[in-house]
Amino acid sequence: MIVSSLIEEFIFHCKFERNLTAKTIKAYENDFKQFKEFKDISSLNVIEVDKVLLKEYIRHLYTLGLKPKSIKRKVVVLKGLFNYLEFEEIIEINPFRKMRISIKQEKTLPKTIEMKNIRKLLKYVYEIKHNIKDKNSFKYKSVVRDIAVLELLFSTGLRVSEVSNLKSSSINIVSGYIKVMGKGNKERTIHVCEQESKNILKEYFSLFKEDIQNKEYFFINRLKKRFSEQSISLMIKKYQNKAKIEQHLTPHMFRHSFATMLLEEGVDIRYIQGMLGHSSISTTQIYTHIDNKKQKKILATKHPRRNLIFSS
């Protein structure tokens, strides 16, 4: 069978049988497009794609100057394809079974937001809200919505996609109970416990109630559509600039800050894993590296041994 048709079959499997997100499917399609164009693999019979050709393709990816993380992702996508073909008995042996691939990638620590900048950002937006006289204006409503999004990102550690796609039926603004559909359609629950965060969510809901009830999404934009991930990113950048915060802020940094601060407060990493929706504890453990960095700083500056001086 021809490679291009088998890739289409695999994409169908990912979309309708594995229920992967549209964003993931798009990434898969882009990776496969690059694979098919290499030496016209697209028109080959799948049995012609052996480990020699696959190794050649991986070497080619390195020549493009791609980061190890990107190369690793592309290889994982290909492995997924050939695992599927083997499982469906379209091929007898997955060529990756005979390959030893080790793609080393540098460990990059998640970037967090300094607490002083979180404080500065929230103080700034609350002041804007307080200074708007016309409580019926869209300007006031939009600021309330923006604060609600910021509070939710910081207090729950949700992914920006999870906030943007939050359904109105999945949040109880009275109790602060939120049902989240995460990666791989895995459902988890998380609570908003801070009263001020709950209050702003309640106020947002009261202002946008009619629009929310007419749509399935909780956060609504000026056009009465879903408040998109890109819009959330631009909103954060806007307030960062206006509040004169020098640190570059992104929505995902709120998630990293949420996890890191809980870890610093002594919360068990497995609880943090559940709140973040990580399927593997190893994904969550990257935050322990940040904690260790802080631990070193604490021991170097706060340990009482610093005050014990002995003269000879």
Fold for domain 115-297? Answer: hpI Integrase; Chain A (1.10.443)
Provide the pLDDT for residue 290: 60
Which of 235, 242, 250 lies closest to 142, judged by CA? 235
**Where does CATH 1.10.443.10 sit in the chain?**
115-297
Strand order in the sheet with 177-181: 171-172, 177-181, 187-191
Greater model confidence, 308 or 112:
112
- Distance from C-alpha of 305 to C-alpha of 113, rounded to nearest angstrom: 31
pLDDT at 245 over 50: yes
Picking from 4-8, 38-42, 154-158, 262-266, which range would have the lowest pLDDT averaged per residue?
262-266
Dihedral class, residue 194 (left if φ above 0, else alpha if ψ from -120 to 50, else beta): beta
96-100: average pLDDT: 91
**Is residue 260 within 8 Å of 110, Cβ to Cβ?**
yes
Q: 78: number of CA atoms within 13 Å, CB side?
A: 30
What CATH class has 3-98? mainly alpha
Per-residue pLDDT reduced to its tens digit, 269-295: 889 898 998 888 877 887 776 656 655
Provide the pLDDT for residue 298: 55
Residues that are catalytic: 159, 183, 252, 255, 278, 287
**Is residue 185 within 8 Å of 197, Cβ to Cβ?**
no
pLDDT band for 311, please (50, 70, 90 cuts).
Answer: low
pLDDT band for 312, please (50, 70, 90 cuts).
Answer: very low
**What percent of the chain shows pLDDT beyond 90?**
71
Which of 254, 242, 223 lies closest to 159, judged by CA? 254
**Where does CATH 1.10.150.130 sit in the chain?**
3-98
190-213: average pLDDT: 94
Residue 290 makes CB contacts below 8 A (sequence gap 6+) with: 109, 110, 112, 260, 263
Alpha helices by DSSP H, listed for the chain, are: 3-12, 22-37, 51-63, 68-87, 115-131, 138-156, 160-164, 195-214, 229-242, 251-264, 269-276, 281-284, 286-302
46-52: average pLDDT: 95
pLDDT at 191 over 70: yes
pLDDT at 233 over 90: yes
Secondary element (H or E) of residue 14:
none
Single pTM value for the model: 0.70
